[in-house]
Amino acid sequence: MSLMNAAREVRENAYAPYSKFKVGAAIRSASGVVYTGCNVENVAYPEGTCAEAGAIAAMVAAGETRLTEVTVIADSPSPVPPCGGCRQKLAEFADADVPVVLATTAGARLETTVGDLLPGRFDAGHMTNAS
């Protein structure tokens, strides 16, 4: 199944009673497997999780830690940009040139990369002791 169809399908399962904004995400891992996630909200609002976080959690739970492609879809007027936290989460498991497709259910499409979504990202190199 294409990432677009997988993201579109999992979006239907989003639990978004508070925002009413359903999001679906699909990622392809280095081995070629497709993992999906949807947003899962909570009455304690900050406890909600994004679609991208769900897809990444599924990949890691299955034993994989590298992703090569991402698609995110929502019923938004323009392709939905991942939140700041999700950009950092994606960057943890992807090279900067990994393609990210942002889509709307109406068919709009915006192609970007993990690197363009999070320039100047914090990475492990910033934690090494320079002295």
**Catalytic site residue from 9, 12, 52, 64:** 52
Does position 3 interact with ligand THU (CB under 6 A)? The reply is no
Choice from 3, 10, 26, 51 touching ligand THU (CB under 6 A): 51
Q: How many CA atoms lie within 13 A of 22 on its CB side?
A: 13
- Number of neighbours of residue 89 by Cβ within 10 angstroms: 19
Annotated catalytic residue 52: yes
- Please, what is the minimum distance in Å from the beta carbon of residue 128 to ligand THU? 31
Using CB under 6 A as the binding rule, whether residue 80 contacts ligand THU is answered as yes
- Rounded CA separation 33/29 (Å): 5
Q: Which residues of 21-55 are buried (b: 16+ CB within 10 A; e: fewer)?
A: ebbbbbbbbeeeebbbbbbbbeeeeeebbbbbbbb
Q: Is 86 in the site for ligand THU (CB under 6 A)?
A: yes
Establish if 122 lies at the interface with ligand THU (CB under 6 A): no
User: In the complex, what is the shortest distance from the CB of residue 107 to ligand THU, in angstroms, rounded to a whole number?
Assistant: 18
Host H or E run for residue 3:
helix 3-11
Residues near ligand THU, by CB under 6 A: 16, 19, 21, 23, 39, 41, 48, 50-52, 72, 80, 82-83, 86
